[in-house]
Amino acid sequence: MSLTRTLSFVGALCVLAAAPASAQRAVGPVYDIVEPDMLKELQRKAKQYQATPEYRQKLRDSKKRSLERAATPTPVVGITPAFRKRSYYFDPTIEVEEDIVTPEGHVIARKGQRVNPLEQVPWRHTWFFLDGRDPAQVQELRRLISSRTQLVKAVLVAGTPTDVMRTVDHRVFFDQQGLYTTQFGIRSVPATVRQEGLRLRIDEYPIEARR
């Protein structure tokens, strides 16, 4: 574009900007800008979908799966039935990574100090790990509970907790994601964990070994 044409174009823009609104006429039809609010549009479509039979069926299926997972959690991977006796110890002593201080400023433990929780809090229960799908292991749990010689905490690695609770009339827990079996190094069940001195003794054993 030549300099003359450029100046003419700029000049025309200046004249148009300075002209009153009444002088600026539209050429052709003029329409209002109508653009739907994106959030409202998404909410509208979501409500439409929620009213469909397909959505209601998916919701029912999701609730059913959630209830099934809660009733029968996923078995802990890698745990097998015990075919031989294995006994070992677990030392819960930890090394403090930083000072442990109460809100009042009292130092409970210094960084680098080795602390054994059993010195302060005794392990009062015998933890019994079992596969709730095995009737023999469930009966072994019943035997331990009925002996009344020890407080028993039952921990499933597989099976349905509610079924086992009804059978033994005792509260039952589940080792979600193998947290405790991994911590204690348990590979087979049934297994017991009990305090012996300032250590925890773990015994894995086949049911026949107790008869």
Q: Which residue has the tokens 């979501």?
A: 46
Query: Given the structure tokens 């600026």, which residue do they identify?
Result: 24
Residue identified by tokens 């739907």 is: 36
Per-chain mean pLDDT for the chain: 82
State how far the Cα of 191 lies from the Cα of 202, in Å rounded to an integer. 7
For residue 19, the model assigns a pLDDT of: 52
Q: Which residue type, as a one-letter code, is found at position 79?
A: I
Residue 16 banded pLDDT, cuts 50, 70, 90: very low
Instruction: Determine contact, residues 110/189, Cβ cutoff 8 Å.
Output: no
Whether pTM exceeds 0.75: no
What pLDDT is recorded for position 31?
54
